[in-house]
Structure 1
Amino acid sequence: MHALLILDLQVGLFHGAEKPWRGEAMLEAVNTLLDKAHAVGAPVFLARHVGPEGSPLTPDAPLTRLIAELQLNGSERVFEKRRPNAFVGTGLVEALREYGVTGVVIAGMKTQYCVDSTCRAAGDLGFPAVLVADGHSCSDTPGLSAEAIVAHHNGTLAGAFCRVMNAQEIEF
């Protein structure tokens, strides 16, 4: 059984000054996956990236809240992470094993940080990953457009680290 793992769809990243490339389309893809996972009872995990007390990313800061546009039903498990790799120091591995999960479907933000790190780690930890090609994003950087970053990661991660599929193609 695959679990849906949604990374960092938080107010500060999604609604902040640097909007994600194709943000609304990404959100639509993620909500499609939420509907599919909920329909068959697949486990859903949502990560919130938080920082130390006194920073803008303290766990109770408004910027770290999940965005309201996510179509959640209350069955999801929300967890906090402090590193790009969602498996480090979070108990996620144990929770996935507890549910009998054999793979993860990964979506969210930011492509070149948390999405990349988590995709690369998943298989090594025994959870082959599917990266949702249309379900992750980031904003432009000084060196690359967000569109180029997403395309690069979809190509680079495919095969060696995970399968890459569009949300419509994924079944749980």
Structure 2
Amino acid sequence: MKNIALLIVDVQTALIDEHPYNQDQFIKNINDLISEARKNNKEVIFVRHDDGEGSELALGAPGWEIYKDLHVLPADKIFEKQYNSAFHKTDLDAYLKSKDIDTLVIMGLQTEYCIDATLKQAFSLDYEVLIPKDTNTTFDNDYLSGEKLYEFYNKNIWAGRFGEVLEVEVVKEKLTKVRQI
């Protein structure tokens, strides 16, 4: 690892207001990692989904805002996206390369949609991907609970294939050991 950054995807008011699986632990863990990253001069990057006019996630709508309990600073870089992957038709990859970032700690919503797409595209772009436990989440659907979806993706799809699924404390240690931005 040369340089590491946090990538926090779609933790937006409208989504949190729907109460995803493990919501409180999810927010706590993300904030703990944000604090650790800042303490170690690591970049914290947010991604916000714009679902188009008329949606709760429409650009500028109250639900589109980054969730109020996250520790966002005015200087934090925020990317807007309209597709599942935070990389698709955004300048995220160019920005990360300009900062010599090669390792991403990926967190956010929803496990089976935007996190899965972002994580797999990060992997295909040769980023090292770290997935802290209990920092991605989703909702129950017609087939599986949010908890089952979380477990399936974290344990069966991503771990050892597209990234490392690690305890939050292990990721905190990694944030102290790599080069500063």
Question: Contact 1:135/1:166 (CA < 8 Å) preserved in 2?
Answer: no
Q: Normalised by the size of structure 2, how large is the TM-score?
A: 0.90
Runs of 4 or more, structure 1, over 3 Å off, are none
Provide the residue aligned with 1:107 in structure 2: 107
How big is the shift at 1:79?
1.2
Distance 1:7 1:112 in 2: 13
Distance 2:12 2:81 in 1: 13
Distance 2:60 2:137 in 1: 24
% of aligned pairs identical? 29
Pair 1:10 & 2:12 matched: yes
Provide the residue aligned with 1:164 in structure 2: 165
Aligned CA-pair RMSD:
1.1
Once the two structures are overlaid, the 10-residue window that deviates more, 123-132 or 111-120, is 123-132
Question: Contact 2:14/2:56 (CA < 8 Å) preserved in 1?
Answer: no
Question: Contact 1:132/1:165 (CA < 8 Å) preserved in 2?
Answer: yes
Provide the residue aligned with 2:63 in structure 1: 63
How big is the shift at 1:52?
2.2
Q: Normalised by the size of structure 1, how large is the TM-score?
A: 0.94
How big is the shift at 1:166?
2.1
Specify every segment of 5 or more residues in structure 2 that has no aligned partner in the other structure, as ranges: 176-181
Specify every segment of 5 or more residues in structure 1 that has no aligned partner in the other structure, as ranges: none
Provide the residue aligned with 1:37 in structure 2: 37
Count of matched residue pairs: 170
Provide the residue aligned with 1:122 in structure 2: 122
